[in-house]
A and B are shown apart, each in its own frame.
Chain A
């Protein structure tokens, strides 16, 4: 494990460095916002106790599970860093508000009275007495909240934000444990490092003597100037990085094939145009989330499947068939969303039914109808959702008149072992599943067209096509270029051989002559 980790870090140091920077950027912006807003609210409640209800509201928000809070942000501010920053800021408010409030409220009344009796104005009382004395409380909150935010930022990739969560999430969805561990370790290191630094400041502020010294640091004009300069540089760097006019924003969903396709789109566009590509990988929530991202302008294009967009975006109930329905699909996207199904890559990732070569030979099976005739002697295996879905086993059995001897719920990763070991005879498959390459199976023909078509292609906003016509050219280079076998092989390299999606995509594009070395 350690060796694999070391390999991963050394070969992909750029990737991880970039994620660390993104992670710090998102967390620290959220931390700074939470400090400013939380401090303000805490002071406000302490000075005007009538508004104590704010504390209750903030407390309530804190009880919302973090993943749900991230989810709530999607319809409001879309996917991406902004939503993550807002959600993290809201989450960080409670410790700040509560500690600022208690810090001020627990000051000995007599000290306040002495300061007041000596002629302090309310403002002087706050700035010269209350805040400095409450400072250890506030510092403790900042420390707590910062560590919490850095850890929580790990799930911000769930809504398409960057940061180390991207590595973890990609590790989970492509079954790559090393990647999960790598992302987690880096988050822990960040959190511990920041905790130690802030712990040092907190210790300083713990004793009354040092608060004064600590505050005096900030009275020094040079220190203030240094802080301002750092803020300007960081701000400028961020602004420079996000030059919107010549950056294409691509999204991909959170499974192997989409990671690979995202990379293929990114590398092709980078090769064929002068545009910068910002690829947001593994957007959770899938098609619906990315679609709303496209509508809001967070994303410009993404790889999708015809049958999926027909059902989950356009909400059609009928079975999608490529030949008869594609025209209507594309038309509806143009009319309703001002987006296009620009091209199709050639491969299809539909559901299929497969058997072992022995079974195929024994019963002379070629089509689903052949299978139906002998189904009462065979055991069928699939993931549990195939048994629950509307277009699942029940509908399939009805269409073909199948009646299996037995059925078995199996996890995706166990399906192929089960059929190799003879526990099941018939298995439901995804046609581009990389593990198919390791398994000898015979796929049967869906002679009554039960399963919808799932051709892969690009959905792009018409705005982007108009703004950057050169993208169309880049996409044209991919049209019809990727066969189902190509895709199976690429998925195989990632899922089974543990290669990186970016590497797999690069090799494929170079081999096909789509991009240069």
Chain B
């Protein structure tokens, strides 16, 4: 197994905040879904945004497929990484078709290729093709999330970053979307980093779960091992809550 993403001795400090990430080291294996969980402000989103260069580390290096991203062209880097974020953040002025085709358009794919990509992905995320000419505000929340995933995947990236993408939808829709994401992952085999604050979602989706607290790693392991051998009191507590909910 090879590490597709590697954080090496990452430090991040802010002038105007006490929050910091110190000596952060992490390997993400190719084809894994890694869910990242922790209290709010623990640095999980920061870790995600460092991968596509939206946040730069103060020191240390991140490697993707073995090459350091500080040497890479940031625009090229981002176009190779899918990015789906919290809420309904489709571009309001573009049709569903143009939303999905956003990245393929940026990289000037041929019209035929874009059209086939759009059709492929709208089908994969389980939406009707008739929605393609609609605008985002004409779709339900769940449909918008699906378009968000299709948009993130349209240029067939090898890595997909997701920042609480399902937080704005109701529970039934969320369960459906989780299932579908798993199916998409099985079909494509891409590497996914998925930030969530819902431990159930983290355990269900993750091949590995990364538990963070105050900018540091509490535990990084398979869901089974996290459940059976919580490494710290914090992880234990996090699980406690789910167990209580499960018993109910």
Give me the interface of A with B, judged by CB distance under 8 Å. Answer: 108, 110-111, 113-121, 124, 128-129, 132-133, 135, 208-209, 211-212, 215
Minimum CB–CB distance from B96 to chain A (whole Å) comes to: 11
Q: Which of B85, B95, B137 contacts A114 (CB 8 A)?
A: B85
A114, A121, A209, A212: most-surrounded residue (chain B CB, <10 A)? A114
Bound: A132/B86 CA distance, A: 22
Question: With A117-B85, A208-B135 as given contacts, are A111 and B91 in contact (CB-CB < 8 Å)?
Answer: yes
CB-CB under 8 A from A124, the residues of chain B are: 106
CB-CB under 8 A from B80, the residues of chain A are: 119
Question: With A118-B103, A118-B106, A124-B106 as given contacts, are A113 and B94 in contact (CB-CB < 8 Å)?
Answer: no
Q: Is B78 on the interface with A (CB-CB < 8 A)?
A: yes
Bound: A116/B54 CA distance, A: 8
Q: Nearest residue in B to A112 (C-beta to C-beta)?
A: B89
A118, A128, A132, A211: most-surrounded residue (chain B CB, <10 A)? A118
Identify 7 residue pairs between A and B in the complex whose beta-carbon atoms are under 8 Å apart, listed by A's number.
A110-B86, A114-B85, A117-B78, A119-B75, A119-B78, A212-B98, A215-B93
Q: Which of B49, B54, B79, B135 contacts A212 (CB 8 A)?
A: B135
Contact A113 B137 (CB under 8 A): no
B114-128 Cβ-contact flags toward A at 8 Å (1 or 0): 000000000000000
CB-CB under 8 A from B94, the residues of chain A are: 212
Bound: A370/B36 CA distance, A: 111
Q: Which of B77, B93, B103, B136 contacts A135 (CB 8 A)?
A: B93
CB-CB under 8 A from B137, the residues of chain A are: 208-209
Bound: A220/B161 CA distance, A: 36
B52, B79, B135, B136: most-surrounded residue (chain A CB, <10 A)? B135
Q: Is B194 on the interface with A (CB-CB < 8 A)?
A: no
Q: Nearest residue in A to B154 (C-beta to C-beta)?
A: A118
CB-CB under 8 A from A128, the residues of chain B are: 102
Contact A119 B79 (CB under 8 A): yes
Q: Which of A118, A209, A212, A215 contacts B102 (CB 8 A)?
A: A118
Minimum CB–CB distance from B107 to chain A (whole Å) comes to: 8
Q: Give the number of A-B contacts (CB < 8 Å).
A: 69
CB-CB under 8 A from B54, the residues of chain A are: 113, 116-117
Minimum CB–CB distance from B50 to chain A (whole Å) comes to: 12
Bound: A108/B138 CA distance, A: 19
Q: Which of A111, A132, A135, A209 contacts B89 (CB 8 A)?
A: A111
Q: Nearest residue in A to B82 (C-beta to C-beta)?
A: A118
Q: Is B83 on the interface with A (CB-CB < 8 A)?
A: yes
CB-CB under 8 A from B91, the residues of chain A are: 111, 115, 129, 133
Contact B89 A114 (CB under 8 A): yes
Minimum CB–CB distance from A206 to chain B (whole Å) comes to: 12
Contact A119 B106 (CB under 8 A): yes
Bound: A129/B92 CA distance, A: 9
Which 6 residue pairs spanning A and B have beta carbons closest together?
Answer: A119-B79, A119-B78, A208-B92, A117-B83, A209-B135, A211-B93
CB-CB under 8 A from A212, the residues of chain B are: 93-95, 98, 135
Interface residues of B in 193-216 (CB under 8 A from A): none
Q: Nearest residue in A to B49 (C-beta to C-beta)?
A: A117
Minimum CB–CB distance from A7 to chain B (whole Å) comes to: 52
Question: With A108-B89, A133-B93, A209-B137 as given contacts, are A114 and B98 in contact (CB-CB < 8 Å)?
Answer: no
CB-CB under 8 A from B92, the residues of chain A are: 111, 133, 208
Q: Is B76 on the interface with A (CB-CB < 8 A)?
A: yes
Question: With A129-B91, A133-B92, A209-B138 as given contacts, are A118 and B79 in contact (CB-CB < 8 Å)?
Answer: yes
B: interface residue count bin: 20 to 34
Task: Provide the main secondary structure of the chain A interface.
Answer: helix
CB-CB under 8 A from B135, the residues of chain A are: 208-209, 212
Q: Nearest residue in A to B54 (C-beta to C-beta)?
A: A117
Q: Is B87 on the interface with A (CB-CB < 8 A)?
A: yes
CB-CB under 8 A from B79, the residues of chain A are: 118-119
Contact B75 A121 (CB under 8 A): yes
Question: With A118-B106, A119-B103, A208-B135 as given contacts, are A132 and B83 in contact (CB-CB < 8 Å)?
Answer: no
Bound: A135/B136 CA distance, A: 17
CB-CB under 8 A from B102, the residues of chain A are: 115, 118, 128
Bound: A211/B82 CA distance, A: 26
Bound: A11/B204 CA distance, A: 86
Bound: A191/B135 CA distance, A: 34
CB-CB under 8 A from A117, the residues of chain B are: 49, 52, 54, 78, 83, 85, 161
Q: Nearest residue in B to A215 (C-beta to C-beta)?
A: B93
Q: Nearest residue in B to A120 (C-beta to C-beta)?
A: B106
Q: Which of A108, A116, A129, A215 contacts B78 (CB 8 A)?
A: A116
CB-CB under 8 A from B87, the residues of chain A are: 110
CB-CB under 8 A from B89, the residues of chain A are: 108, 110-111, 114
Minimum CB–CB distance from A373 to chain B (whole Å) comes to: 88
CB-CB under 8 A from A120, the residues of chain B are: 75, 106
Contact A208 B76 (CB under 8 A): no
Bound: A149/B166 CA distance, A: 49
Contact B85 A113 (CB under 8 A): yes
Q: Nearest residue in A to B107 (C-beta to C-beta)?
A: A119
Contact B136 A208 (CB under 8 A): yes
Bound: A315/B97 CA distance, A: 75
Minimum CB–CB distance from A81 to chain B (whole Å) comes to: 38
Bound: A303/B103 CA distance, A: 69
Q: Nearest residue in A to B51 (C-beta to C-beta)?
A: A117
Q: Nearest residue in A to B135 (C-beta to C-beta)?
A: A209
Bound: A301/B89 CA distance, A: 66
Contact B93 A208 (CB under 8 A): yes
Contact A110 B93 (CB under 8 A): no
Bound: A114/B102 CA distance, A: 11
CB-CB under 8 A from A129, the residues of chain B are: 91
CB-CB under 8 A from B93, the residues of chain A are: 132-133, 135, 208, 211-212, 215
Bound: A128/B103 CA distance, A: 11
Bound: A467/B14 CA distance, A: 74
CB-CB under 8 A from B103, the residues of chain A are: 118-119
Interface residues of B in 60-94 (CB under 8 A from A): 75-83, 85-87, 89, 91-94
Minimum CB–CB distance from A505 to chain B (whole Å) comes to: 59
Minimum CB–CB distance from B143 to chain A (whole Å) comes to: 15
Bound: A257/B82 CA distance, A: 78
Bound: A474/B136 CA distance, A: 73
Minimum CB–CB distance from B168 to chain A (whole Å) comes to: 12
Q: Nearest residue in A to B79 (C-beta to C-beta)?
A: A119
Contact B78 A118 (CB under 8 A): yes
Minimum CB–CB distance from B81 to chain A (whole Å) comes to: 8
Minimum CB–CB distance from A432 to chain B (whole Å) comes to: 66
CB-CB under 8 A from B77, the residues of chain A are: 119
Minimum CB–CB distance from A203 to chain B (whole Å) comes to: 16
Contact A118 B85 (CB under 8 A): no
Bound: A208/B98 CA distance, A: 13
Bound: A215/B136 CA distance, A: 17
CB-CB under 8 A from B85, the residues of chain A are: 110, 113-114, 117
Bound: A215/B98 CA distance, A: 13
Minimum CB–CB distance from B45 to chain A (whole Å) comes to: 11
